[in-house]
Chain A
Amino acid sequence: MSSKRIPVLPRGVRLHFDKVRGQNVLLAPERTLFLDDVGHRILLELDGQRSIALIGQHLAAIYNAPEDAITSDINEFIDDLADKRVIGFADA
């Protein structure tokens, strides 16, 4: 059921490519999160329209990977960021 949530980057949270370190980062109030490729890929999908389930389906197709595993990874990643208040939900 938590996969029905539609994650969004709230105002004040944005993706940024750090040229000096050659890394993708998420910039947020009083927080800088250095992203790995997986995290960055997930965050690029957030469009305020699609749910975690739909994003999972999409990425599973692209990477030819089991949808359940992908969706559960996304849920975990999003939950962690939501606890830090750097992710919001469109339907909440």
Chain B
Amino acid sequence: MRDAALAPPPIAMLAELTHRCPLACPYCSNPEELIAREKELDTETWINVFRQAAEMGVLQVHISGGEPASRRDLVELVKGARDAGLYVNLITSGVGLTDARLEELDKAGVDHIQLSVQGITAKTADWIGGYEGAFARKMAVADKIAEIGFPLTLNAVMHRHNLDDLPATIELAKRLGARRIEIACVQFQGWALKNRSMLQPTREQVDDAKRVVARAREEYRGTMVFDFVPPDYYADFPKACMGGWGSTGLNVTPDGRVLPCHAAETIPSLTFQSVKDASLADIWYNGVAFSAFRGTDWLPDLCQSCDRRDVDFGGCRCQAMAVTGDATAADPVCRKSPHRHLVDEVLEAEVVPMGNKAFDYRKFPANR
């Protein structure tokens, strides 16, 4: 039943426990149609999913959301994942984590915490996150994380409104004792796509950021690791999507659907199975959404004849969908793509001096 020649087992699983979150970041990677609490998988089902994941070869689980702390059973779920034999990364904004809860999470076996920061001052961070007091709360959580001794990654999502603060962001990571910093420029899908004209950095900002990161990598060698995701639109070639579609990781949504990537639902031609209807392994090895873009056979001629074919696998499917309307096209970021002009036109039209425009914050549908 399993085509071992095509698909190796996955290494990592992103478990989106919930879409609930006190923050409302305008670039949230959750889909525009947020899933309501009543539809979330229950504790037992999640723990079963963790067991299935470990049995099929997943080594690391990224417990995320929304805000995973919005789940009352978070501690129990972490314990379930550890008992299943998984390495547990907790991805959190920190808001909603009390000192007592952090201590429980420590006992439950959280291996590593990834704390997101929206900005380096309360003013910017609370504006971007759409939540008064989030920054202060986050800093208190960071202190407690350090006190307990969790390894910490600071996850800084960067865009036009905070890229100029990159050096200070790196200093903040150092001050908080982070072992790693992820400097991730916003990827334009879902909410971020809606807010693209507010978020798109300028070319000068991007060039500066590259210099700052290169310098910091040297300065912090051996003390802090840098993971830098530069913005796509200014690149010449696309990035591989998670090491290739359906090759290293999978994503489970709050209601149990299994996706090849968090944004895969933006591709209307794909249908997704749920852990309620099939086993995780069956979905991974035989599910149509996973086979759709697995390997390189489906790639357009442009990519088939390109020496980067096995490097980027034609880039991001969701980006091809978002920009060209065709999920099977080469990523339009690619210089060789016939659609590259669309990306350049977006840059020209949208990267204008900051006006008074407001963010379109993420929110649940009003009639839920």
Residues of A in contact with B (beta carbons under 8 Å apart): 10-14, 16, 18, 20-21, 25, 27-30, 32, 82-85
Contacts and interface: CB of A to CB of B under 8 A. Distances in A.
B180 interface: yes
Interface string B223-267: 111010000000000000000000000000000000000000000
Interface stretch (B43-51, B53-61, B69-77, B323-331): B53-61
Interface of B: 9, 11-12, 55-57, 59-60, 85, 87, 89, 111-112, 114, 149-151, 153, 179-180, 182, 221-225, 227
B222 A83 contact: yes
15 contacts: A10-B179, A12-B179, A13-B151, A16-B59, A18-B57, A20-B55, A20-B56, A20-B57, A27-B59, A29-B114, A29-B179, A29-B180, A30-B180, A82-B222, A85-B223
Contacts of B179: 10, 12, 29, 85
B9 A12 contact: no
Contact of A10 (B59, B85, B87, B151): B151
A26 B209 CA distance: 31
B153 A21 contact: no
B59 A30 contact: no
B225 A85 contact: yes
Interface centre among B57, B87, B182, B224 (most CB of A within 10 A): B87
Contact of B87 (A16, A84, A85): A16
A30 B9 contact: no
A12 B57 contact: no
A66 B324 CA distance: 61
Contacts of A32: 11-12, 59-60, 87
Given A29-B111, A85-B180, A12 B151 contact: yes
Given A30-B227, A32-B11, A21 B57 contact: yes
A92 B85 CA distance: 31
A18 B222 contact: no
A6 to B, nearest CB: 16
Nearest to B223: A85
Contacts of A11: 149-151
Contacts of A13: 151
A30 B89 contact: yes
A25 B150 CA distance: 21
Contacts, number: 61
B110 to A, nearest CB: 9
A21 B9 CA distance: 9
B299 to A, nearest CB: 27
B24 to A, nearest CB: 26
Contacts of B59: 16, 18, 25, 27, 32
Nearest to B57: A20
B224 A85 contact: yes
A29 B11 contact: no
Given A29-B111, A29-B153, A32-B11, 4 more contacts: A14-B111, A29-B89, A30-B112, A85-B179
Contacts of B227: 30
A84 B224 CA distance: 8
Nearest to B153: A29
A84 B225 contact: yes
Given A29-B179, A30-B180, A85-B180, A12 B222 contact: no
B112 A12 contact: yes
Going nearest first, the 5 A-B pairs with the smallest beta carbon separation are A12-B151, A20-B57, A29-B112, A27-B87, A12-B112
Contacts of A16: 59, 85, 87
B69 to A, nearest CB: 19
Nearest to B62: A30
A82 B220 CA distance: 12
Nearest to B11: A32
Contacts of A27: 59-60, 87, 111
Contacts of A18: 57, 59
A27 B58 CA distance: 12
Contacts of B12: 32
A13 B112 CA distance: 9
Contacts of B111: 12, 14, 27, 29
A12 B180 CA distance: 12
A54 B287 CA distance: 52
